[in-house]
Amino acid sequence: MTEGLRLMHVHAHPDDESSKGAASTARYVAEGVDVHVATCTGGERGSILNPNMDRPDVLANISEVRRQEMDRAREILGVRQDWLGFVDSGWPEGDPPPPLPEGCFALISPEQAAEPLVRLIREFKPHVVTTYDENGGYPHPDHVMCHLMTMRAWQAAGDPAEYPDAGEPWQPLKLYYHHSFHRERTVALHEAMLGRGLESPYAERLEEWKPDPEHDRRVTTRVPCADYFAIRDKALIAHATQIDPEGHWFSVPLEVHQQAWPTEDYELVESVLPAPLPEDDLFAGIRDLAAGYDGRRESIGI
């Protein structure tokens, strides 16, 4: 049962919604789930990673270009999307790294940053929310702040005493972290490439990437979505400033991805409901209750 189910992804930049969880997003959209992407920043300080787009006209209009890319990816994935209005912090390069730019997203307090997200949660009323772990998935300052902001919003959205001017309270039922690029998956893709007599793009990286059993145990939920990897790839390519179609993202053939690692992986971090683990569905335990849920725990007997 998918009628009435709602899923919200909270991401730091345009393109993150296509590189993290996009195939499971496409699967849920195809099943009738209403999916909403909240994008914290406009990606204004992002590097141009596709040499074909490294042009003066693109650089001069990077904010508008990235918005147009997001529009195309949104249409491909079939999601709704809102900009939360914060300014990209950029990736601080140097040793030591330079100070972050004044007024950027990563310098705003989580309490202040959470207000527009609380407002959006109360308006959209998601049953499930996803974001990044405490390290941001990788330590970009905007990804870390996205984590902090989302955790604050999770705590506040259902409490009428918090952000009282941001709409009627709504408590989402489950919160997940993305774990898209973990070592176990990378090893599987690497071995699948070698097993087919192909050169693996991961050999050098795996030499330096030491096993971390504690992190591997964090994955609780593997969502089968291999049939939607092609949609994921199409959404990625829509972000032309960030994704080179001839680059590393696509050095492993689609069928290898589908056979070697046919899921997208998450960590269940918070759940209002009992949640037996492991899972294969972000809506496990919710599907039969969602129709009667009005944002208050007591409405479904919790």
Torsion of CA 99, 103, 108, 113, to 10 degrees: -140
Name the β-bridge partners of 263.
224
pLDDT of 143 reads 97
Average pLDDT of the residues in 161-186:
96
Instruction: Judge whether residue 1 has pLDDT over 60.
Output: no
Model pLDDT for residues 261-271, shown as the tens digit of each residue: 999 999 999 99
Model pLDDT for residues 14-26, shown as the tens digit of each residue: 999 999 999 999 9
Which amino acid belongs to residue 144?
Answer: V
Question: Where in the chain are all domains bearing CATH 3.40.50.10320?
Answer: 6-181+219-300
| Alpha helix (H) residue ranges in 174-247 | 183-195, 203-208, 213-216, 229-238
pLDDT tier, 96 (very low <50, low <70, confident <90, very high otherwise): confident
Give the Cα separation of 48 and 248 in Å (integer): 15
pLDDT of 99 reads 93
Instruction: Judge whether residue 40 has pLDDT over 90.
Output: yes
Q: Which of 128, 165, 169, 163 is nearest to 269 (CA)?
A: 128
pLDDT of 297 reads 82
Average pLDDT of the residues in 115-119:
98
DSSP state of 140: -
pLDDT tier, 2 (very low <50, low <70, confident <90, very high otherwise): low
Instruction: Judge whether residue 216 has pLDDT over 80.
Output: no
Query: What is the residue-averaged pLDDT of the chain?
Result: 94
Average pLDDT of the residues in 27-55:
94
pLDDT tier, 71 (very low <50, low <70, confident <90, very high otherwise): very high
* Fold that domain 6-181+219-300 belongs to in CATH: Rossmann fold (3.40.50)
